[in-house]
Amino acid sequence: MEIIEHTINAQCEGVMVEPVGCSTVGVLVLAGSSGRIEADRCRLFARTGMTALSIRWFGGDGQPAGICEIPLETFSTAIDLLRAKGAERIGVLGLSKGAEAALLLAVHDPRVDAVVALSPTSVVWANVGPGSDGKTYPYRSSWTWQEEPVPFVPYDDSGAPAEAQGEPTACRTHYERSRQTFDKAARQAAIPIERSAAEILLVAGGDDEMWPSLVFAQELASRRASAGRTAKVISAPDAGHRPRLPGEGPAAPSHRFRYGGTAEADADLGAKAWPHIVGALAGPVVLGS
């Protein structure tokens, strides 16, 4: 399918990719803690007939350098842009911290019709990096809504993984320990996804070494079920933190973190999830191929 790409600079920095002709389906594509604009992933969705938008939501002009008290309204503004392009159905796809944002956005913005959360969390975490004041400590929420911080889980730095010289670090046990240490805060920071009417799809690997995303996905699904709503979980025991969608190459190797999985397992999970991802985002609309 022929596509058209636009650079966005007015209300936010980003890229919008749309199929030639009109589309009534819009998808907001959010990266994880890399903060990058996911242009390639937008092209992938545009070729299925969706209008896809990815924005920079931290680290840009006038934004905090880290993921610290990011207004969720940032993503609502992006939805405004998709709606202005004629999107009637709005989906949000996010990876890792982007999945955290996507799930919260579905709770607070009723215009979100579907969420695809890749390697999600079931609770809100403290900031990753400095806020607008340039400070990382004391810990604050990653997010705000209507200028109020969203309840969050701090990090237990007594159990922070030691970084071996020249060796990437696995963070999973750090998140697990922090949640145990701050159990009360974790219960208050649970993402109330059961409140959202959006369709929810969760994709997670059992070998995720960044955080226990499969456990988190199962918790989210259970929370939805308790409220009489559903959430579909697509998983694979040997996949890691970075599932790869059909048409995407292997994720770039990291010298800082261990993400788990293998290139083959991560690609297999993405391929397994792909028809469910397209179906959830598109809904009943028939898309081009």
> What does the pLDDT read at residue 11?
74
Per-residue pLDDT of the chain (289 residues; tens, 9 = 90+): 899 999 988 678 999 999 998 899 999 999 999 989 999 999 999 999 999 999 999 999 899 999 999 999 999 999 999 999 999 999 999 999 999 999 999 999 999 999 999 999 999 999 999 999 999 999 999 999 999 999 999 999 996 776 656 689 999 999 999 999 999 999 999 999 999 999 999 999 999 999 999 999 999 999 999 999 999 999 999 999 999 999 999 999 898 999 999 999 999 999 999 999 999 999 986 444 4
pTM of the full predicted structure?
0.96
Distance CA 38, CA 178 (A): 30
Which amino acid does the sequence have at 115? V
CB atoms within 10 A of CB 46: 24
Strands (E), 40-195: 51-55, 70-71, 89-95, 114-118, 143-145, 148-149
Task: Identify residue 208 by its one-letter amino acid code.
Answer: D
Domain boundary assignment for the chain: 3-61+74-125+194-282
Query: How distant, in Å, are the alpha carbons of 51, 107, 150, 231 from that of 186?
Result: 36, 18, 12, 21
Q: What are phi and psi of 209, to 5 degrees?
A: -100, 0
- Is the CA virtual torsion 129, 78, 216, 257 positive or negative? negative
- 62 backbone dihedrals φ, ψ, rounded to 5°: 75, 10
Q: Which CATH architecture has domain 3-61+74-125+194-282?
A: 3-Layer(aba) Sandwich (3.40)
